[in-house]
Amino acid sequence: MDFTGRPFLSAIPECLIMKKNDARMEITLINGSRLVLGGSNNFNSIMGANPVTVIYSEFALHNPLARQYINPILVQNKGLEIIQSTPRGKNHLFEGGSR
């Protein structure tokens, strides 16, 4: 939900959605793209997913090893990485994201 109580999924027009898999937190669009939600606590589960864009929300709370694992895949794919967070002390975010 966003801050108004509107579900995030309502921002995606139904006509663009080919398939939803709630158990895997995954949406497949009609152009073949997949939107997948995941957590850094189980980053090995994306093995073979071949991401092109990764957004780290509240990165200070993430497992820093997730970025070390995913970053080379993004480089190979000429992908995009977005990191946003609020400070939580001197952690991997403070140190520059554990590059």
CA angle 31, 9, 66 (to 5 degrees): 80
Q: Residues 61, 48: one domain?
A: yes
Q: At residue 84, what is the residue type?
A: Q
Q: What is the count of structural domains for the chain?
A: 2
Q: What is the pLDDT, as a whole number, of residue 43?
A: 80
pLDDT confidence band for 97 (50 / 70 / 90): low
Q: Residues 11, 50: one domain?
A: no
Q: Residues 32, 68: one domain?
A: no
Tens of pLDDT, residue by residue over 35-68, are 988 878 778 777 777 889 999 888 888 888 888 8
Tens of pLDDT, residue by residue over 11-26, are 899 999 999 998 888 9
Q: What is the pLDDT, as a whole number, of residue 41?
A: 79
Q: Which residues contact 55 (CB under 8 A, 6 or more apart)?
A: 81, 82, 84
**Which domain does 74 fall in, by range?**
38-99
Q: What is the pLDDT, as a whole number, of residue 19?
A: 96
Q: What is the pLDDT, as a whole number, of residue 25?
A: 85
Whole-prediction pTM value? 0.72
Q: Residues 46, 94: one domain?
A: yes
CB atoms within 10 A of CB 61: 15
Span 31-36, mean pLDDT?
91
Tokens of 98: 């554990």
